[in-house]
């Protein structure tokens, strides 16, 4: 894989590890200029720690309180990042334009919509005890609408730019290509939570069918991208170590699709009559178990390749957030399968996966905080704009 492909999302890699960050990173303006859309992956990864805990089939004392605190912190972080990007768009348009023009960074414009959707889902799952049910539904409705509209925009705009610009090499495909096409699947999964709060009748039916349509959009687009990633790995090997964490992104659409299938199936009876409601409920299991099996295979491959890279040297970068949200979708997928199939095995798989998720999240959060404090996570973006 070309070094140009790795460069924009390789903050804090070995190539910059020994360098001092630019002086303008000591000022807020420098930090804002150095923000990229990939920063929203930290919101996604933090948010799913909270939402996955809220529905986990194996509950322990204090887990819900922990999840609520994480969700509140995540909501604050989402607002902070969004404010920073708003300032960047107003005062540093060149930086924002550079992200859109970069063939790698542009893929991560799928992250902001998914961040909003994740925080919105947390509001509905954990917010009622903090802000009340009415406010929680309102917050989720706003964030779901904003995340869905911007997610559909990324699903259309980013592939359009890729199709019209051309020039991608045979070694260009990587996990990040999935980022702009996964948001509709997240909308489908989180939209299921809103279905019971929508007035019965055409409005509720429209919402349910729209979620299934977005499920199809993301699933079929994923089926087009995933073979290209597999083929690139076979023909060109793994590539730079900094890109290895992006292999975990593949778990995102896989796990989220299983989650969506089960969550939508659980509420289908609220809008559809039999036999369609029963069929959609059964689809969650019939579709979910085989796809979860492939996700387990991919997780094993990704883990082996990550261990291999770590033995040689795996530099820290924002790509490490790929260890969080995609794994979290596998937790919610196993949870959905456990709840709807009655499988105790899936319940314990969900619990074990959640422990792994929290461990990865704690490590990546600490490393991100340290890198942000030093300014090294912003330096590559500034160098890209120079």
44: nearest Cα among 143, 114, 142: 114
pTM over the 0.75 mark? yes
Is 324 within a domain? yes
Is 385 within a domain? no
Q: What's the pLDDT score for residue 379?
A: 53
Query: If pLDDT is split at 50, 70 and 90, which confidence band does 31 have?
Result: confident
Is 14 within a domain? no
43-77 pLDDT tens trace: 999 999 999 999 999 999 999 999 999 999 999 99
Is 339 within a domain? yes
Mean pLDDT for the stretch of residues 113-138: 97
In contact, 48 and 328? CB cutoff 8 Å:
yes
Tokens in use for 204? 């509720």
Confidence check: pLDDT of 21 > 70: no
Query: If pLDDT is split at 50, 70 and 90, which confidence band does 278 have?
Result: very high
Q: What's the pLDDT score for residue 29?
A: 60
82: CATH: 1.50.10.150
219-238 pLDDT tens trace: 999 999 999 999 999 999 88
Is 16 within a domain? no
Phi, psi of 73 (to 5 degrees): -65, -40
Distance CA 27, CA 1 (A): 35
70: nearest Cα among 33, 121, 1: 121
Is 166 within a domain? yes
Is 49 within a domain? yes
Confidence check: pLDDT of 378 > 70: no
> Residue 123 is part of which domain span?
3-9+23-378
Q: How many domains does the chain fold into?
A: 1
List all residues 6 or more positions away from 259 whose beta carbon is below 8 Å from its beta carbon.
189, 329, 332, 333, 335, 336
Query: If pLDDT is split at 50, 70 and 90, which confidence band does 98 have?
Result: confident
Distance CA 42, CA 281 (A): 32
Mean model confidence pLDDT for the chain: 89
Is 276 within a domain? yes
Phi-psi domain of 173 (left: phi exceeds 0; alpha: psi -120 through 50; beta: other): beta
Q: What's the pLDDT score for residue 383?
A: 40
Distance CA 161, CA 348 (A): 43
Tokens in use for 145? 């609408």
CB atoms under 10 Å from CB of 297, counted, come to 11
């Amino acid at each position: 894989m070309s070094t140009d492909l790795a460069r924009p999302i390789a903050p804090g890699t070995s190539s910059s590890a020994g360098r001092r960050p630019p002086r303008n990173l000591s000022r807020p303006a420098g930090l804002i200029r150095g923000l990229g859309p990939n920063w929203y992956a930290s919101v996604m990864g933090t948010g799913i720690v909270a939402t996955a805990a809220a529905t986990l089939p194996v509950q322990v004392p204090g887990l819900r309180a922990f999840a609520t605190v994480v969700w509140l912190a995540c909501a604050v972080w989402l607002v902070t990042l969004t404010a920073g990007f708003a300032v960047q768009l107003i005062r540093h348009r060149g930086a924002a334009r550079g992200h859109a023009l970069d063939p790698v960074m542009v893929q991560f414009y799928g992250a902001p919509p998914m961040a909003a959707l994740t925080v919105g889902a947390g509001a509905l799952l954990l917010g009622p005890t903090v802000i009340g049910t009415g406010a929680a539904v309102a917050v989720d409705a706003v964030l779901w609408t904003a995340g869905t509209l911007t997610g559909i925009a990324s699903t259309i705009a980013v592939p359009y730019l890729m199709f019209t610009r051309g020039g991608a090499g045979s070694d260009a495909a990587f996990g990040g290509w999935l980022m702009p096409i996964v948001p509709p699947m997240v909308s489908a999964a989180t939209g299921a939570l809103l279905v019971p709060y929508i007035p019965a009748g055409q409005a509720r039916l429209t919402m349910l069918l729209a979620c299934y349509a977005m499920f199809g959009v993301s699933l079929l687009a994923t089926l087009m991208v995933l073979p290209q990633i597999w083929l690139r790995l076979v023909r060109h090997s793994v590539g730079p170590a900094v890109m290895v964490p992006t292999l975990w992104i593949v778990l995102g659409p896989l796990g989220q699709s299983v989650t969506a299938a089960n969550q939508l199936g659980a509420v289908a009876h609220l809008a559809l009559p039999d036999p369609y409601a029963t069929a959609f409920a059964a689809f969650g299991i019939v579709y979910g178990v085989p796809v979860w099996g492939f996700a387990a295979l991919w997780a094993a491959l990704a883990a082996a390749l990550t261990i291999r890279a770590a033995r040689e040297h795996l530099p820290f970068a924002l790509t490490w957030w790929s260890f969080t949200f995609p794994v979290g979708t596998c937790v919610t997928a196993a949870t959905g399968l456990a709840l709807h199939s009655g499988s105790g095995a899936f319940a314990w798989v969900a619990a074990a996966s959640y422990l792994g998720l929290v461990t990865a999240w704690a490590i990546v959060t600490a490393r991100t905080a340290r890198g942000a404090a030093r300014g090294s996570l912003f330096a590559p973006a500034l160098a890209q704009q120079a």
